[in-house]
Chain A
C-alpha cells in the first residue's frame, strides 16, 4: 500500500512538471522579457559610450580653440561655448546622458565656430602686421640710402 502511494505521488508530480514545462505561452513570455532586459542593458551602455565620445570630441575642439587663443580673441563666444561644455559635464555626472550628449555636441560646434573665426582674425592680423613691418622696413632702407 505504501509503495502504491509513493508511486502515485511521483506520477502526479511528473504530470504536473511536464504540463508546466511544455506551456508555449509561458515560455515565450519569459524569452521576451529576457531579451528586453538585455536590449535595455545594451542601449544604456551605448548612450554612455556615445556621451563619452562626444565629450572627448568637445574637449578636442576646446583644446584647439584654446591653442589658437580663442579664449582671448573671442572671449564672449568662447565663454558661451565653455559654459555649455560645463553644463554637459554636469549632466553627464548626474547620469543624464542624452541631455549631456546634446550639450557636448552643441559645445563642440560652438568651439569649432569660435576656432574658425579666430583663425580668420589671426590670419588678417598677421597679414596686416607683415605689410606694416615691410613698409616700415622699406622706408628705413630708403632713409638710410638717402642719408637723411
Chain B
C-alpha cells in the first residue's frame, strides 16, 4: 500500500515537472533573452558608476544575445504557425475521411495524406517552413472536395404520387445509376426480396433495395432525400 502511494506521488511529481517544462517553452523563459536583459541591467549599472567602457561592452554583448533571442522568437512563431496548420490539415483529413472522401475522392485524399506525412516529418525535424508549405497543400487540396455524402448503398421505395417508384425510375435517379436501362441490376440484386420475384413491376413503398456498385463507386448508407450526393 505504501509502495503504491509512493509510486502515485512520484508519478504526480513527474507530471508536474513535465508540466513546468512544457510551460517553460515561452519566449520569455529563453536563456538568451534573459541574458540580454541581464546584460542591459549591468550596462546601466556600469554607466551610472561611470565605467563607460564596461557599459558599452555589456550593451554590445546584450545586442548579440538579443539577436539570438530574436532567432528563437522567429523559430517559435514559425513553429506555432506550422503547429496550427498541421492541426487544421489533420482535422481536414479527418473530416474528409469521415465524410467518405477517402473513397469518393481517393486520389485527392491519398495525395493529401502523403502531403500530410511530409508536413509531419518536416515538423518533427524542425523544418517548419517546409511543414507549413505541405500542411497548406493538404488544406488546399482537400478544400476542393465539397463535403457530400457518398452514393447510397440502399434505397427505400417511396410513395410519390406524381412519379411512382419502379426499378426503371429508381435506376434513373442520378444518385443511383443515372441510367434507367440499368434497372435490371437492381432487380437481380433484390429479386429474392420481392413478393413475386418474377414480377419486377410489383414493389411496395418502404421496401429497401440494395444498389450494387457497377463501376467500383463507393456506396454507403440508405438514401436520404435531405442529403446532397456526389454525382
A residues within 8 Å of B by Cβ? 68-73, 118, 121-122, 124-126, 128-129, 131-133, 135-136, 139-140, 142-143, 146-148
A7: shortest Cβ distance to chain B, in Å? 93
Q: What is the number of contacts between chain A and chain B, taking CB atoms within 8 Å? A: 88
B73 at the binding interface (Cβ < 8 Å):
yes
- Contact (Cβ within 8 A) B40 A148: no
Query: B61-119: which residues lie under 8 A (CB-CB) from chain A?
Result: 62-63, 66-67, 69-70, 73, 76-77, 80
- Contact (Cβ within 8 A) A132 B76: no
B residues within 8 Å of A by Cβ? 26-28, 33, 36-37, 39-40, 43-44, 47, 49-53, 55-56, 59-60, 62-63, 66-67, 69-70, 73, 76-77, 80
Inside 8 A of A147's CB, which chain B residues have their CB? 80
Given the complex of chains A and B, what is the CA–CA distance between A36 and B181 in angstroms? Answer: 148
The answer to whether residues A139 and B33 also contact, given A124-B52, A129-B44, A132-B43 and a CB cut-off of 8 A, is yes
Of A129, A133, A148, the residue contacting B26 (CB under 8 A) is: A148
The answer to whether residues A148 and B63 also contact, given A121-B52, A121-B53, A122-B52 and a CB cut-off of 8 A, is no
A sample of 26 inter-chain contacts (CB < 8 A) reads A73-B50, A73-B52, A122-B52, A125-B52, A125-B55, A125-B56, A128-B43, A128-B55, A128-B56, A129-B44, A129-B47, A129-B59, A132-B36, A132-B40, A132-B63, A132-B66, A135-B66, A136-B36, A136-B37, A136-B62, A136-B66, A136-B69, A139-B66, A143-B27, A143-B76, A148-B26
Q: For chain A, what secondary structure do more than half of its interface residues adopt (helix, strand, loop), or is it mixed?
A: helix
Inside 8 A of A148's CB, which chain B residues have their CB? 26-27, 73, 76-77, 80
Residue of A nearest to B25 (CB): A148
